[in-house]
Structure 1
Amino acid sequence: MQLSVDSIVVAAMDILDRYGLADMTMRRVASTLEVAPGALYWHIKNKQELISAIAERILDSADQADFDGAPAVDADHPAVTIARSCAALRQALLSHRDGAELVMAAMTQPDSTLRPRIVDAFTEELVGIGLDAATAHAGAQALLHQVFGATTFEQAALQNRELLSGDGASTSGAETSDPGVRLLLDALTWRD
């Protein structure tokens, strides 16, 4: 196999999905690819860069997803489009073990563009339904916090149930929508 950024990211994502973020080490990735750990550093500078690359893939999957589940609001809600975006993001995070934790770790790295990418997209959608720029930006940040906080909590609960049951049940793909997103969108779109 030709070692590349893509092959490293794919191997790391497989480890992430099987064992979680804590066990996704550069040494384990190298072992999976049957190369010396030093060989990875020709392509990926460090674990933080690897985390960022995986986070980009997860967010790209949310952007490209054709979300077909039930968003947090009804189809006639003025913010149904952003509700679908929040649901697609949540679904992408849940599709990988520790997905929310990993993307949050990437967003907090210096010079990361991931957080502004999400906030700007949410802000644009909220401005598109008539909110002023300041309210839309604050609402976008609140939605980001809600989606990531709720998803992190949900992933931890799913993994704890898996550990306690011992049956190896999947920790991804929960079907329910996030009621916090609905509350925020109802508040943001409420008019006198």
Structure 2
Amino acid sequence: MHLSRDVIGRAALGILDEYGLADVTMRRVATSLSVAPGALYWHIKNKQELISHLAELITAPLFDASRAASTPAVLCAELRRVLLAHRDGAEVVLAALSQTESPLTGRLTELVRGSLGTASDNTTDSATARAEAAAEGLVYLTVGAAYVHQSSAQLAQATGSPAPAGDVASVELAVEFLLAGYAQHS
């Protein structure tokens, strides 16, 4: 088998979906690929980089060309959907967003900022700053809400408690509030 970042990432994503983030280790990924753990380090330097790569794989559907015309609310709904499509998906993306060297924060923020209808080359510095803050807020709101939802559902499953009520409507309402505030001040 020819190892590559993508092969390693896909194997790690399979482990993530089946067992959760706690079981995604370099050793486990290597074992699933029938290679020595050291072989992975030619392509992925450490677990933080593996998490960043997993986050890129999870969010990849958001960056296809058809999303260019999406509204911020649609992008947030799609972001939530791709996060919840993978076990611990929101936690992985949240971990990647917390890494200063991860480009994902900028990519997600730029995607949402572009959907706000602002072009940085013909807006004032304050308008650009507001658009950037709104986009970043929408990303963090969406990822954070998905993380809380996923964690609550897993806790309910582990304890035999009733599953939490779907919070989609409240997240959508919060996105609407943020967008309304942005529209009022732009």
- Does the alignment pair 1:139 with 2:134? yes
Which residue matches 1:176? 168
Give the 3-state SS of the residue equivalent to 2:116 in structure 1: helix
**Shift in Å, 1:107:** 2.0
Shift of 1:65: 9.2
Change (3 A) 1:63 1:5: same
CA contact (8 A) 1:63 1:88 kept: no
In structure 2, relative to structure 1, the CA distance for the partners of 1:110 and 1:134 (3 Å cut) is: closer
1:148 paired with 2:126, answer no
* Structure 2 residue 32 is matched with structure 1 residue 32: yes
1:79-158 mapped onto 2 (5 Å cutoff): 81-128=71-118, 132-158=127-153
Is the 2:15–2:24 contact (alpha carbons within 8 Å) kept by the matching residues of 1?
yes
The structure with more helix, counted as a fraction of residues: 2
Question: Identity of paired residues, percent?
Answer: 46
1:56 corresponding residue in structure 2 = 56
Q: Would the aligned equivalents of 1:51 and 1:102 in 2 still touch at CA under 8 Å?
A: yes
- Return the alpha-carbon distance in structure 1 between the equivalents of residues 115 and 66 of structure 2: 17
List runs of 5+ in structure 1 lacking aligned partners.
68-79
In the TM superposition, residue 189 of structure 1 has moved relative to its aligned partner by 2.5
**1:77 aligned residue:** none
- How far off is 1:66 after superposition? 7.0
Q: Supply the AA of the counterpart residue of 2:6.
A: D
The RMSD of aligned alpha carbons is 2.7
Asked if 1:187 corresponds to 2:181, the answer is yes
Residue identity matched to 2:181: A
How many correspondences in the alignment?
173
Q: Which blocks of at least 5 consecutive residues in structure 2 are unaligned? A: none
CA contact (8 A) 1:26 1:37 kept: yes
TM-score (norm 1): 0.78
- 1:11 Cα deviation (Å)? 0.8
The runs of 4+ residues in structure 1 deviating greater than 4 Å are none
